[in-house]
Amino acid sequence: MQLAGKFFIFLSIVLFAFHAGPAQAEILDGSGSGTITISPLSISRDNLLVADGCDEAREWYDEGLRLSDDSDREAYYYQQAIDLCPGYVAAHNRLAEVYRKQGKYLLSIDQFEQARIQALASNQFASRSGSRALFLESAISLGEIYRIQGKYERAAQEFSKALQMDPDSLAAQNNLQYVYKRMHRYDNVLSPNNQMLVNALFTRISGLTRPRGTYRFDVQYHTWNQTGTLTDEMFDDERIQLAIPPSERKTEVKEVIASIRYGITNNLTIGLIPKYFSRTLEIKLAAFDTVETPTVKDIGDTELLLKYHVWGERNRHLSIYTLFNLPTGKNIKVLGDEPLTRPGQDMNGDPITEYLEFVRYIPFGSESYDVTPGLAFTLGLDPVILQSNMQYRITDGELIGDEFLLNAAAMYRVNPSVIASLEMNYRWRADVRRKQQVITYALRPDFILRERIPAGALVVDTNYTEFGGHTLFLSPGIQFTVARGVMVEFGMQIPLVRQAQGVTENIVYHLGLSVMTF
Amino acid sequence: MTSSLPASKPMLLQLRRLFTDSGFPLLYIPLLFICSGCSTAFFPSPREDIAIEEDQFTIPKEIIIADNTIYQNNRSGLRIRGNTPVYVADCSIYQNGRAGVDIEQAAKVDIEASNIYENKNSGIAANNASKLTLRDSLVHQNKDGGIRIRQDTESQVKSTYVNLQHNKIFLNEEGGIHAIADTPGPIQVNVTKNAIYRNRKTGLRIEDNVHLTAAENAFYRNGAAGIASYVTADTPPRLDIYQNKIYFNLGSGVFIRSGITGRIGISNNLIYNNYRAGVAIGLLNQAANEQVDVEVYHNTIVGNGSNVEGAGIRNDSHGNAVIKNNIIAYNFTSGIMTDGCSGISYNLLFANGETSRVQPDSEDFNYLTEKVQYSGCSGKQWGDVLAQPMFTNPDSYNFSLRQDSPAVNAADTIHSAYFETFPNNNLGARPEPVSAGKVQERP
């Protein structure tokens, strides 16, 4: 019993000390001549002296919470709590909520603002758990008030602020979209990261189809250098003994692709994609120092796109498509006598100049109606959008061979105007048997074959095999929105794996402009 | 009977001050009171404050517990068993170690004008009870949900009847109301004119053999769905949900994982600004156990959804859903998200989806609009209207229709007793205000 008695005495002392609170603070003024007595409640809310008031405030707050009926009495409890502890952010928020429910919007806004000010002023608030939620709540509630008042711009500001604090806030997302719609901003109702109506630079066909009645125009400019080898072994019908064998063909290609796409229905898009080329050829001849490099410009083939949206929900879309190749491009034959200078000098000490006839075939199209079926998929994963397609071009194998493409792109919206992308573009090409006319020169009569072949030009029609193979590109890119629906894009394709033979590209540079109508 | 709630702020503070000032220890010898009209406070007890078991007493015709404060007991505040009717009125039951009111074994309990809060378990736990009626009461801030009703295989009663009327059920740390019956006999739950809000999980959740009638309630700001219906056993819940306001819930407004609607269906509800779908039926790619057959008539479903999910109405189930005479507008992802068009007709859709571009003033629906309105269905169905619904003031959640609304007189007649009693020629919900949760003012 004695022990219990001592315990109760001890407990009483503790309780008394707790309830009595700390003594009044006394601070000497500068002269030291007297004291200034400060009442506890006038000291900073972070001071221990105020903690006593805040404890009592919490009881008033809890009482209000227990009521939760948006009544004047509930408001009174929160007001009492705030009077005792002005930095009580939750009480400000709840009081503001009650005012909002009562339709007292000005009072409510004032309390929400107070909550914010008090929260920002407190150096403890930020570190407390739940502080962020209170901040968020006040931003959303303020937005709701502005929404009710029809002040959409201000409401959108508050909801955007809330989204900056918490991009996953469902309430902020919900309200922001509604407000945008009320502002007639139907094309920008999503948070930017979810906008999937962007296309990658090289993975051009997405899983989405155009909305019905809308257009998309784009123009792409590509330039690259490519190299191809031509050797005796490639001629498989009649082995040509090339007097002047061209060992390497270099071509500088400039390609302009225009496209127009239109949504016939929401699930069916049609597109027309004409191409225009400029090719500058350089054929290196081992026997000569120089060679002329003619530039040929002409239209290439045109593709007709039909795309159908077969499946989709919010952030996942799948389409099938077919590209019909319309052979508007020709296999252009370029003839010409060109002065070539051999190394060395003639008997007079002059450079040796000969005129040789060259025949070049420059393919600007396949000259056949090809079909390319494909599959395209788009997946939106905040904040990244994935886009992929694969297609197989079925050809007659004459000028252009079969081709399989597999593209995958990841796009990241850096800010509302800038999208960065990274793509992998895989290509497989089949070998192509090409018809070729070779004109060679016999410098002297040939008796080896027991048939006398006179000296001079010898024209041989033959076939040769342009080898295909695997190529893999890594393709970084960036797109800028310069005006509503207008995007400018830059990028490049860097070959990581090149096919061993045949025509191989160096880096492909891309410049694009696309315009969408809404 | 006129009742008043005793737990006013001054009284509570006075009691607390009494304890601390006098230095009372926190344990008291249990007091047992069964009284009528007394105003005694039941002090903290290591066990239940009042335990009523019929074999301990001469069975009275009725037990009345009125005007008591029952708090801080280590176990339940009130524990009631047996089939003697118990009437609880004007009581304040709080901070008890288990449920505020624990109702078991065929008990019949009426609770009126009471304040049940901050109990460590549910506010009211009814396990295999015969009857529970709760009126004009507050059930709030309880740790394990507001009201939990369960009927299991050990039940001595064939069915449980629950009637909840004019209550406020809020800020409970689990759901507001949770009813589950894995027995052949159903729990009949009538929830009328309650305000169920700011609970941490679902406002009203039912599972298995529960027959729910929810009318004229307000479900808002709950941490999950406003109303949710599931099946874990054989019998799916039966639902009639009508004339409710369901809004600002963090989940869907109404989520039916499994359920079969009764004679009224999901009708005449205002379902807006829920942060997932307005009405969600089934669960995507998880149709194994679902049993769905629902009718969704004459609802106004506006502004639901977020980046996570948010069609006005979505049906991911393989069951039947008839969606008719609704107004579905401004929802986040799409208007009606279904697998096919079956059962959809006579709905007004407007400005749903993320990329819909409509000119509200010109009714210009010339692209993407239709696709987004109907995700999974090819487009406009019989009787559907794609036009601005002309709400009176949607910004302030007034979704009544202006006279020039295209929804006026655009509905197809639904032949049922309910709609013959409450005919509605307009699309969307009837404009009657919901007078939910009007409990009596405390002194």
Reported as a single tens digit per residue, the pLDDT across B213-266 is 999 999 999 999 999 999 887 889 999 999 999 999 999 999 999 999 999 999
Are B129 and B232 part of one and the same domain? Answer: no
Model confidence band, residue B159 (pLDDT cutoffs 50, 70, 90)? confident
SS3 A55: helix
B115 vs A94, B48, B141, B142, B301, CA distance in Å? 21, 17, 11, 11, 34
Q: Count the domains in chain A.
A: 2
Closest residue in chain A to residue B314, using alpha carbons only: A313
CATH assignment of the domain containing A48 = 1.25.40.10
Query: For testing the chain A interface, which of B5, B167, B273, B368 should be mutated: the one with the most A CBs within 10 Å?
Result: B368
Of B131, B51, B39, B37, which Cα lies nearest the Cα of B96? B51
Least reliable range by pLDDT among A31-40, A201-210, B163-172, B313-322 = A31-40
What are the residues whose beta carbons fall under 8 Å from the beta carbon of B60, sequence distance 6 or more? Answer: B84
Q: Tell me the nearest-neighbour CA distance from A312 into chain B, angstroms.
A: 8
Model confidence band, residue A12 (pLDDT cutoffs 50, 70, 90)? very low
Residue A27, in any domain of the structure: no
* pLDDT at residue B121 tops 70: yes
Please name the helix (run of DSSP H) or strand (run of DSSP E) that holds residue A135, with its range, or none.
helix A131-148
* pLDDT at residue A64 tops 50: yes
Q: Which one of B104, B135, B164 terminates a domain?
A: B164
Token pair belonging to A511: 């410049």
Are B144 and B267 part of one and the same domain? Answer: no
Are B152 and B240 part of one and the same domain? Answer: no
Of B341, B345, B293, B295, which Cα lies nearest the Cα of B318? B293
Q: Compare CB distances from B356 to A19, A186, A314 and report the shortest one's residue.
A: A186
Are A256 and A328 part of one and the same domain? Answer: yes
Are A381 and A258 part of one and the same domain? Answer: yes
Are B134 and B238 part of one and the same domain? Answer: no
For the stretch A449-496, pLDDT in tens is 555 566 666 676 777 788 889 999 999 999 988 876 788 999 999 999
State how far the Cα of A409 lies from the Cα of A511, in Å rounded to an integer: 17
Q: Tell me the chain A residues in contact with residue B9 when contact means C-beta distances shorter than 8 Å.
A: 60, 63, 77
Contact call for A177 and B355, based on CB within 8 A: no
Least reliable range by pLDDT among A48-52, A384-388, B198-202 = A48-52
Residue A351, in any domain of the structure: no
Q: Tell me the chain A residues in contact with residue B305 when contact means C-beta distances shorter than 8 Å.
A: 174, 177
**Up-side HSE of residue A434: CA atoms within 13 Å toward CB?**
24
Residue A364, in any domain of the structure: no
Residue B94, in any domain of the structure: yes
Which of the 8 DSSP states describes residue A151? -
Asked if B285 contacts B318 with a C-beta cutoff of 8 angstroms, the reply is no
Of B280, B311, B272, which Cα lies nearest the Cα of B391? B272
Find residue A282's DSSP bridge partners. A250
What are the residues whose beta carbons fall under 8 Å from the beta carbon of A204, sequence distance 6 or more? Answer: A389
Q: What is the pLDDT of residue A81?
A: 93
For the stretch A221-244, pLDDT in tens is 999 998 887 666 666 655 555 555
A213 vs A263, A486, A487, A517, B182, CA distance in Å? 5, 18, 20, 9, 54
SS3 B185: coil
Are A172 and A263 part of one and the same domain? Answer: no
- How does DSSP assign A342-362, residue by residue? EEEE-TTSPEEEEEEEEEEEE
Are B153 and B262 part of one and the same domain? Answer: no
Q: Tell me the nearest-neighbour CA distance from A258 into chain B, angstroms.
A: 23
Contact call for A65 and B337, based on CB within 8 A: no
SS3 B38: coil
SS3 B220: strand
Q: Compare CB distances from A147 to B309, B310, B395 and report the shortest one's residue.
A: B395
Are B394 and B281 part of one and the same domain? Answer: yes
Q: What is the mean pLDDT of chain B?
A: 81
Contact call for A173 and B307, based on CB within 8 A: yes
Query: If you search the block for the tokens 């989520």, which residue do you land on?
Result: B255
State how far the Cα of A288 lies from the Cα of A286, in Å rounded to an integer: 6
Residue B72, in any domain of the structure: yes
Q: Tell me the nearest-neighbour CA distance from A269 into chain B, angstroms.
A: 12
Token pair belonging to B26: 């926190």
CATH assignment of the domain containing A494 = 2.40.128.130
- Is the pLDDT higher at B184 or at B389? B389
Domain hosting residue A61, numbered range? 40-185
Are B61 and B156 part of one and the same domain? Answer: yes
For the stretch A305-358, pLDDT in tens is 999 988 766 567 889 999 999 999 888 877 765 555 555 666 777 766 666 666
State how far the Cα of A219 lies from the Cα of A223, in Å rounded to an integer: 13
Residue A90, in any domain of the structure: yes
Q: Tell me the nearest-neighbour CA distance from B153 into chain A, angstroms.
A: 36
Q: Of A436-445, B254-263, B331-340, B361-370, give the range with the top mean pLDDT.
A: B254-263
Find residue A312's DSSP bridge partners. A317
Residue B154, in any domain of the structure: yes
Q: Tell me the chain A residues in contact with residue B138 when contact means C-beta distances shorter than 8 Å.
A: 66
Q: Tell me the chain B residues in contact with residue A173 when contact means C-beta distances shorter than 8 Å.
A: 275, 306-307, 332
Residue A242, in any domain of the structure: no
Contact call for B20 and A19, based on CB within 8 A: yes
Are A99 and A48 part of one and the same domain? Answer: yes
What are the residues whose beta carbons fall under 8 Å from the beta carbon of A376, sequence distance 6 or more? Answer: A205, A206, A207, A307, A318, A319, A320, A321, A387, A388, A389
Residue B274, in any domain of the structure: yes
Token pair belonging to B309: 């999910």
Q: Tell me the nearest-neighbour CA distance from A38 into chain B, angstroms.
A: 27
Secondary structure (H, E, C), A267-310: CEEEEEEEEEEEEEEEEEECCCCCCCCCEEEEEEEEEEEEEEEE
Token pair belonging to A228: 């191809």
Q: What is the pLDDT of residue B215?
A: 95
Residue B442, in any domain of the structure: no
Q: Count the domains in chain B.
A: 2
Q: What is the pLDDT of residue B377?
A: 81
* pLDDT at residue B111 tops 60: yes
- Is the pLDDT higher at A11 or at A378? A378
* pLDDT at residue A164 tops 60: yes
Q: Tell me the chain A residues in contact with residue B379 when contact means C-beta distances shorter than 8 Å.
A: 266
Residue B188, in any domain of the structure: no
Q: What is the pLDDT of residue B443?
A: 35
- Strand B101-104 versus strand B124-127 pairing type: parallel
SS3 A342: strand
Residue A444, in any domain of the structure: no
Are A108 and A69 part of one and the same domain? Answer: yes
- How does DSSP assign B15-30, residue by residue? HHHHHHHHT--S----
Q: Tell me the nearest-neighbour CA distance from A174 into chain B, angstroms.
A: 5
Contact call for A174 and B305, based on CB within 8 A: yes
Q: Tell me the chain A residues in contact with residue B368 when contact means C-beta distances shorter than 8 Å.
A: 211-212, 214, 263, 266
Q: In angstroms, how far apart are the furthest CA atoms of chain A?
A: 139
Query: If you search the block for the tokens 């008042």, which residue do you land on?
Result: A149
Of B321, B367, B370, B323, which Cα lies nearest the Cα of B347? B323
B439 vs A62, B1, B135, B139, B211, CA distance in Å? 20, 14, 8, 11, 25
Q: What is the mean pLDDT of chain A?
A: 76
Are B209 and B110 part of one and the same domain? Answer: no
Asked if A143 contacts A175 with a C-beta cutoff of 8 angstroms, the reply is yes
Contact call for B357 and A212, based on CB within 8 A: no
Are A132 and A212 part of one and the same domain? Answer: no
Q: Tell me the nearest-neighbour CA distance from A260 into chain B, angstroms.
A: 17
* pLDDT at residue B363 tops 50: no
Of A150, A176, A153, A185, which Cα lies nearest the Cα of B393? A150
Are A136 and A282 part of one and the same domain? Answer: no
For the stretch A66-123, pLDDT in tens is 888 889 999 999 999 999 988 888 899 999 999 998 999 999 999 988 888 887 776 6
State how far the Cα of B12 lies from the Cα of B27, in Å rounded to an integer: 18
Residue B191, in any domain of the structure: no
State how far the Cα of B72 lies from the Cα of B46, in Å rounded to an integer: 9
Are A181 and A272 part of one and the same domain? Answer: no
For the stretch A384-411, pLDDT in tens is 888 999 999 999 888 888 999 999 999 9
Please name the helix (run of DSSP H) or strand (run of DSSP E) that holds residue A472, with its range, or none.
strand A469-483
Q: What is the pLDDT of residue A117?
A: 83
Contact call for B306 and A173, based on CB within 8 A: yes
Are A386 and A266 part of one and the same domain? Answer: yes
Which of the 8 DSSP states describes residue A223? E
Chain A and chain B share a number of CB contacts under 8 A equal to 124
pLDDT > 70: percent of chain B: 78
Model confidence band, residue B52 (pLDDT cutoffs 50, 70, 90)? low
- Is the pLDDT higher at B46 or at B414? B414
Are B158 and B206 part of one and the same domain? Answer: no
Residue A150, in any domain of the structure: yes
- Strand A504-505 versus strand A215-229 pairing type: antiparallel
Domain hosting residue B27, numbered range? 1-164
pLDDT > 90: percent of chain B: 57
- Strand B63-66 versus strand A469-483 pairing type: unpaired
Are A108 and A224 part of one and the same domain? Answer: no
Measure CA of the first residue to CA of the last residue in chain A; give whole Å: 87
Query: For testing the chain A interface, which of B8, B9, B398 should be mutated: the one with the most A CBs within 10 Å?
Result: B9
Token pair belonging to B193: 């004119």
Q: Tell me the nearest-neighbour CA distance from A151 into chain B, angstroms.
A: 10
Asked if B194 contacts B170 with a C-beta cutoff of 8 angstroms, the reply is no
Q: Tell me the chain A residues in contact with residue B25 when contact means C-beta distances shorter than 8 Å.
A: 8
What mean pLDDT is predicted for residues A166-175? 87
Asked if B84 contacts B63 with a C-beta cutoff of 8 angstroms, the reply is yes
What are the residues whose beta carbons fall under 8 Å from the beta carbon of A121, sequence distance 6 or more? Answer: A87
Q: What is the pLDDT of residue A247?
A: 59
Closest residue in chain B to residue A15, using alpha carbons only: B20
Asked if B269 contacts B296 with a C-beta cutoff of 8 angstroms, the reply is no
Number of residues in chain A: 518
Which of the 8 DSSP states describes residue B114? -
State the Cα angle at A211 between A210 and A212, rounded to 5°: 110
Token pair belonging to A96: 């503001």
Are B153 and B216 part of one and the same domain? Answer: no
* pLDDT at residue B60 tops 80: no
Are A214 and A178 part of one and the same domain? Answer: no
Alpha-helix residue ranges (DSSP H) falling in B62-108? none
For the stretch B385-407, pLDDT in tens is 988 899 999 999 999 999 999 99
State how far the Cα of A311 lies from the Cα of A315, in Å rounded to an integer: 11
Query: For testing the chain A interface, which of B114, B200, B248, B307 should be mutated: the one with the most A CBs within 10 Å?
Result: B307
Contact call for B368 and A266, based on CB within 8 A: yes
Residue A4, in any domain of the structure: no
Phi/psi at A331 (5° precision):
-90, 100
**Complex ipTM over 0.90:** no
Residue B59, in any domain of the structure: yes
Are B309 and B236 part of one and the same domain? Answer: yes
Are B260 and B119 part of one and the same domain? Answer: no
What mean pLDDT is predicted for residues A270-291? 77
B394 sits in the region (left: phi over 0; alpha: psi -120 to 50; else beta) called alpha
pLDDT > 90: percent of chain A: 32
Asked if B197 contacts B203 with a C-beta cutoff of 8 angstroms, the reply is yes
Closest residue in chain A to residue B309, using alpha carbons only: A314
Model confidence band, residue B432 (pLDDT cutoffs 50, 70, 90)? low
Contact call for A186 and B376, based on CB within 8 A: no
* pLDDT at residue A38 tops 80: no
Are A146 and A217 part of one and the same domain? Answer: no
Contact call for B141 and A65, based on CB within 8 A: yes
What mean pLDDT is predicted for residues B306-326? 90
Q: Which one of B164, B192, B212 terminates a domain?
A: B164
Q: Which one of B113, B146, B164 terminates a domain?
A: B164
